[in-house]
Each structure stands twice: as structure tokens, then as C-alpha cells.
Amino acid sequence: MRGARMAMAVLVVGGLISGCGPGPTLQAATAELQKDMQRLETDDVFKNPLKKLKIVERPDKDLPCDKGKFERVLRATADLERKGPSLDNHLDHAQRLMEITLSEVLHYKMTYDLTQMDWEDARLIDGRKDTPGITVKVIVVPESPTWRLVAKTDCLPRS
């Protein structure tokens, strides 16, 4: 009997330590995505009218994505005026600027792909917040708008 109680105590403590419990919810992910939108709108770089930040889709609608699950989506565009003749330098600068904003201001963990360093048609940026479950993707292109951002919550239950 004493051994069974000890085993149960170890399982309970182990479960608490490992973080077992309910996973992320759509409500928590949506709240974070809405904060990201506000941070983007008030960021020193993007509040500049020359950047022409445009929120194309606000994360205010539940979009069905699986049986009984939903996601929210934020879409935005912004522009960076090209200074100088080098397309590669322009794309490098735009990519770095967005990566800094995503990682330092919006707190995404970035995935870096060094194979695209000299692509002259586009650059791709990926970031993730595992908690509460949001993925961001940005395409950086030479024509206007320079940045095309899509941030999505994971496909999650409402509660």
C-alpha cells in the first residue's frame, strides 16, 4: 500500500513538473496575435507613414480549420523605399529589419535560412511562438509592398 502511494505521488509530481495539462487555446493565441498586431502598428519602424503599413486582415474571425477547431489570421503589408541601385542590399536590409522586429519587438523565435542570402527575387522569413501557438511568415520582395506578412494561430479548440 505504501509503495502504491509513493508511486502515485511520483506520477502526480512528474505530471506537474512536465507541464502536462490542457494545451494552448484559441482564446490565448488570439489574444497574443492581437497584441502582435498592436505592437507592429506602434513599432518605431512601422508607425512611420513612409512604411505604408496596412493591416489587410485583422485576427477577429474564427476560421474553421479542423473538426471543432479554429484559427485566427493576421495579414499585413508594408513598404521599404529602395535606396541605391543594389537589389541585393535592399532585400538584405528589408529582411534584417523585419527579422529584428519579429524577434525583438514581437518575440518570435526565428528560423534562419542562409541559402537564400543572394536570392534577388524574394526572401522568406519564418518565426514561431510555440506558446500560445502562432506561426509568422513574411515574404520580402523587391516591388511594393516590400513586406507581406501572414501570422496564424495553430488550429485550436475554442476553450
- What percent of the chain has a predicted confidence (pLDDT) above 70? 86
* pTM score of the predicted model: 0.83
Q: What mean pLDDT do residues 99-115 have?
A: 95
Span 65-82, pLDDT tens digits: 999 999 999 999 999 999
Q: What mean pLDDT do residues 90-114 have?
A: 95
108: which DSSP letter?
A: P
Query: How far lies 19's CA from each of 22, 24, 31, 151, in Å?
Result: 9, 12, 21, 26
Residue 96 identity (one-letter amino acid):
R
Higher-confidence residue of 84 and 138: namely 138
Q: Which of 147, 141, 159, 140 is nearest to 53 (CA)?
A: 147
